[in-house]
Chain A
Amino acid sequence: MALDLYQGTNVLDLGQGISGPFCGKMFADLGARVVKVEPHSGDPARRIGPFPGGEPDPEASGIYLALNANKLGVTLDLESATGRELLLELAQGADLLIESFPPSYLPGIGLDFPAFQARNPRLVMTSVTPLGQTGAWSGFQANNLLLSDLSGHSREHPGPVDEPANQPPLQLAAHQGEFLAGLAAASASALALNRRRLHGKGCHVDVSGMEALALLSQTALAEFSLGMPPRTRQREGAGRQALLVLLPCRDGYVGISPRQQDQWERFVELMGSPAWAEDAKFATTDSRLANWGELEPLLAEWTRERDKEDVYRQAQSVRIPSFPLNTAADLFTSAQLAAREFFVEVDHPKTGRLRYPGFPARFASGKELELAPAPSLGGDNATVLGAYGPGLSNDEVAALRSQGVI
Chain B
Amino acid sequence: MPSGPLGNVRVADFTWQIAGPTCTRYLGLMGAEVLRVESNRRPDPYRQRTISHLINQNKKSITLNLSHPTAIELARQVACLSDVVIENFAPGVIERLGLGYDELRRENPDIIMVSSAGLGHTGPDFNQVAYGTLVQCFTGWSALQGYPDGGPEIGGIWTDPMVGMLEVFLVNAALNRRWEHGDGQYIDLSMAEATTMLLPEAVLEYGMNGRVQEPLGNQHESAAPHGNYPCLGEDQWVGIVVETDEQWRALCKTLGHSEWLTDPRFDTGLLRWRNREALDKLLAEVTAGYDAAGLAETLQRAGTPAAPSLSVGQLWNNPHLRERGFFHSFRDHDGTGYELPGAPWRFDGELEGEMATQPLRGEHNGYVFGELLGLSDAEIERLVEEQVVY
Chain A residues close to B by CB (< 8 Å): 4-9, 26, 30, 48-54, 62-63, 65-67, 131-143, 145-146, 148-159, 164-165, 167-176, 179-181, 183-188, 190-195, 197-198, 203-212, 214-226, 228, 230, 233, 244-246, 252-257, 316, 319-332, 335-337, 339-340, 342-343, 351, 354-365
Which B residues are in CB contact (< 8 Å) with A9?
176
Which residue of the partner chain B has the closest CB to A152?
B315
Distance in angstroms from A197 CB to nearest chain B CB is 6
B-side contacts of A151, CB under 8 Å: 310, 315
B239/A62 in contact, CB under 8 A: no
Are B134 and A336 within 8 A (Cβ)? no
Chain B residues positioned under 8 Å from A140 (CB to CB): 300, 305, 307
| Residue in B124, B199, B208 whose Cβ sees the most chain A Cβ within 10 Å | B208
Chain B neighbourhood of A322, CB < 8 A: 129, 134
A361-B345 contact, Cβ under 8 Å, with A63-B200, A149-B237, A149-B309: no
Q: Is B228 within 8 A of A149, CB to CB?
A: yes
Q: Which 6 A-B residue pairings sit nearest by Cβ, starting from the closest? A: A62-B204, A66-B200, A195-B5, A364-B186, A190-B172, A360-B193
Given A156-B156, A157-B156, decide whether A5 and B174 contact each other with a Cβ distance below 8 A: yes
B142 touches A255 (CB 8 A): yes
| A206 to B326 Cα, complex, angstroms | 12
Since A191-B347, A325-B142 are in contact, a sample of 20 more A-B pairs with Cβ atoms closer than 8 Å, ordered by chain A residue number, is A9-B176, A54-B209, A135-B320, A141-B300, A145-B218, A153-B156, A174-B201, A179-B198, A190-B173, A191-B345, A210-B321, A221-B316, A222-B50, A224-B316, A226-B53, A257-B134, A322-B134, A331-B140, A339-B122, A361-B187
| Contact indicator B347/A203 (Cβ below 8 Å) | yes
- Asked whether, in the complex, the Cβ of B137 is within 8 Å of the Cβ of A246, the reply is yes
Flag the segment in B70-78, B157-165, B255-263, B379-387 that touches A: B157-165
Interchain CA distance A321-B124 in the complex, whole Å: 16
Looking at the complex, which one of A146, A155, A207, A254 makes contact with B344 (CB distance below 8 Å)?
A207
Q: Which residue of A lies closest to B348 (CB)?
A: A203
The contact of A207 among B142, B202, B345, by CB within 8 Å, is: B345
Whether A336 touches B124, Cβ cut-off 8 Å, given contacts A169-B228, A328-B205, is: yes
Known: A66-B204, A218-B22. A194 touches B235 (CB 8 A): no
Instruction: Decide if A49 touches B310 in the complex (CB within 8 Å).
Output: no
Q: Report the separation of the CA atoms of residues A311 and B146 in the bound assembly, to the nearest whole angstrom.
A: 23
Interface size on B, residues (CB 8 A): 144
B185 touches A365 (CB 8 A): yes
A214 touches B341 (CB 8 A): yes
Q: Is B321's CB under 8 angstroms from A214's CB? A: yes
Query: How would you classify the secondary structure of chain B's contact residues: helix, strand, loop or mixed?
Result: mixed
How far is B191's CA from A324's CA once the two chains are assembled, in angstroms?
16
Bound: A351/B50 CA distance, A: 49
**B156 A159 Cβ-Cβ under 8 A:** yes
Interfacial chain B residues near A359, Cβ < 8 Å: 193, 197
Task: Considering the complex, give the chain B residue whose CB is closest to the CB of A26.
Answer: B169
> CA–CA, A316 to B124, complex, Å?
13
23 A-B contact pairs sorted by A residue (CB < 8 Å) = A6-B177, A48-B201, A132-B346, A134-B323, A139-B300, A142-B307, A145-B241, A155-B310, A157-B156, A170-B228, A172-B158, A180-B165, A187-B172, A191-B345, A209-B344, A214-B341, A216-B161, A221-B340, A226-B50, A230-B311, A321-B134, A361-B188, A363-B186
A179 to B197 Cα, complex, angstroms:
10
Q: Is the interface of A mostly helix, strand, loop or mixed?
A: mixed
**When chains A and B are docked, how far (Å) is the Cα of A384 from the Cα of B166?**
30
Other-chain residue from B54, B143, B175, B196 in contact with A218 (beta carbon distance below 8 A): B54
Q: Is the CB of B125 within 8 A of A357?
A: no
Cα separation A181 to B125 with both chains bound (whole Å): 31
Do B51 and A187 touch (CB < 8 A)? no
Q: Which of B36-44, B58-66, B147-155, B360-368 contacts A (4 or more CB under 8 A)?
A: B147-155
Contact B237 A169 (CB under 8 A): yes
A339 to B101: give the CA distance in the assembly, Å: 22
Complex Cα–Cα for A323 and B163 (A): 19
Determine whether the beta carbon of B315 is less than 8 Å from that of A217. Answer: yes
The answer to whether B313 touches A134, judged by C-beta atoms less than 8 angstroms apart, is: no
Q: How far is the CA of A128 from the CA of B30 in the complex (A)?
A: 19
A351 contacts across to B, CB distance below 8 A: 208
Contacts of A4 in B (CB 8 A): 177
State whether the Cβ of B135 lies closer than 8 Å to any Cβ in chain A.
yes
**How many angstroms from the CA of A343 to the CA of B336 in the assembled complex?**
49
User: Known contacts A158-B155, A316-B128; is A327 also within 8 Å of B212 by CB?
Assistant: yes
